[in-house]
Amino acid sequence: MSGKSLLKIDLRGLILLLAAATALITLGNALYSSYRVQRQQLIDNTLEANRIYAAKLAASTDQFLHSAQQQLAYSAGMMSKPDGLGRAVEEVERLKSQTDSFNSVTVADATGKVIAISPETIQIVGNTLTSVNAQRALTEQKPFISQPFVSFAGNLVVFISHPIVSDTGTYLGFIGGTIYLKQKSMLHSLLGSHFYTDSSYIYVVDENRRLLYHPDANRIGEAVGPNTVIDAVIRGESGKSQVVNTASVEMLAGYAPITSAHWGIISQQPIETSLLALNTLMLNMLKGILPVGLLGMFAIWWLARLISRPLGQLADCAKNMDSPEAQGKIREVKSWYFESTQIKRALLLGISLLQSKIGKLNKDAQTDPLTGLLNRRAMAQVLETYRSEQTAFSVVVLDIDHFKRVNDTYGHDTGDKVLVQLSKIMQKHSREADSVCRVGGEEFLILLPGTSLEAAGNFAERLRLAVEQASMALIGHITISLGVAHWPDDAKELSETLKLADDRMYQAKQLGRNRVVAHAVEGTVHSCEPQ
């Protein structure tokens, strides 16, 4: 696994990103909240408008039916006088000529025999009426409005009846008017006079769910299926509701009952049509906000550039603090606000300290005098470079098994030769970018930049085999124990990573020496046995 490349972003980009995110979130929230409020308000207003319209139209229809009943009652009163039925023909003609309330008017005597009818094109004078509504009029002998029915001529008809009773209380017959629901009539004109041009429409149903009026004349007489609004209105309720019609279109409906006839009026409009104006409004609002938003983003970009420029310049200088011209470049940076001024002062002070440190470090040997490997000071510098550049690496810590016996048996000079030969083996198996360090008497450390834990374990195993197979001067063969760890996967701090590798090396010794131990997950020991 190669070293992890950590995301870097400069201050200007961070300010722009934060400002843009804040602006977009605020704008999005404002637009969404405004849309939701306006949408609900439009829906509520449309529902209320449809409820009011349905209620007014129901009241007008009720008034029309009541007026029609009054007209029949007046005619019945005129014919209740002595020899009043003799004027039946005159009375039906008067009703037809004075009002468009009825498509036809009929007068029948107490036996159901027709004695007058208008228009005269209907040739039933002298016939006895046997229809359900005629028999009802003869039997009940009181005013009523019938349920819609299909006449002999195939018309969908509503029949309004009023009894004719003499001054002495004798039942003389009845006068009735018919209203054709599929043809031109005053009721049809009343329901068809729709004053809205916003795709809303009305329809009328009776208590049997039959359509008595609909903009599509072909549907008049059709029985409507389950519908919550129709269910409510035929129960005599009025109100408003969102409902899905038979064409699966979501509608905003208002409804009201026509109490005198047990009918219901529903006024409704597609919700999509109601919200068209809102969509246009939101689009115009967005167009109005966009120029201001772009201007604001330009202003934020300019301010971000102004704020981040001195810090960016100081950061560039900080990367090359060891260069001779670094101090001069830092002094040229225009730090116009407090924080950048303090950073500038700290960098100048740091350069002075760095230069003094460099002078001192140049005097110190950075390599181990015996083996020529990097010493602890050099190792610390390498680690600091890895930290500052966020370079992932693996570390291998190794120790010679039973090295004290070598010194005790063959002397320290022989032990030193073993250390030198071991150092050469480690350098031979390491890459140019790797750092091989001596950190103690017989303890060594190898830093492997851009190397995964698994690859480092394989490297450690190859090194272990090479040492095991190598012939050392005077003493023959030696073995080593190795521990492996990875930064930043195993630990976030460098010191913790080094300690973890050291602990694993001691685990290798505890497990019998001459082996590699690496942890992929805390608590799991991976041991590579000798081949």
Catalytic residue status for 442: yes
| Dist CA 68 CA 507 (whole Å) | 107
CB contact at 8 A, 221 and 209? no
Whether residue 463 contacts residue 482, with contact meaning beta carbons closer than 8 Å, is answered with yes
| Four-CA torsion 110, 111, 112, 116, nearest 10 degrees | -60
The DSSP letter of residue 116 is: E
Check 91, 442, 461, 522 and give the catalytic one: 442
d(CA 146, CA 142): 12
Residue 253's closest CA among 55, 451, 497?
A: 55
Beta bridge partners of 201: 268
| Angle (nearest 5°) at CA 75 between 73 and 78 | 110
DSSP H helices, 244-375, are: 271-274, 276-319, 326-332, 338-363
Q: For residues 88 and 94, give the distance between their C-alpha atoms in angstroms, rounded to a whole number.
A: 10
DSSP string, 215-259: SSGGGTTPBP---HHHHHHHTT--EEEEEE-TTS-EEEEEEEEET
CB 220 within 8 A of CB 182: yes
Q: Strand 393-400: give its sheet, edge to edge.
A: 435-438, 443-449, 393-400, 480-487, 516-518, 526-528
Closest CA to 106 of 117, 91, 95, 94: 117
Question: Pairing relation of β-strands 443-449 and 435-438?
Answer: antiparallel
Query: Beta partners for 175?
Result: 107, 162
Active site positions, annotated: 442
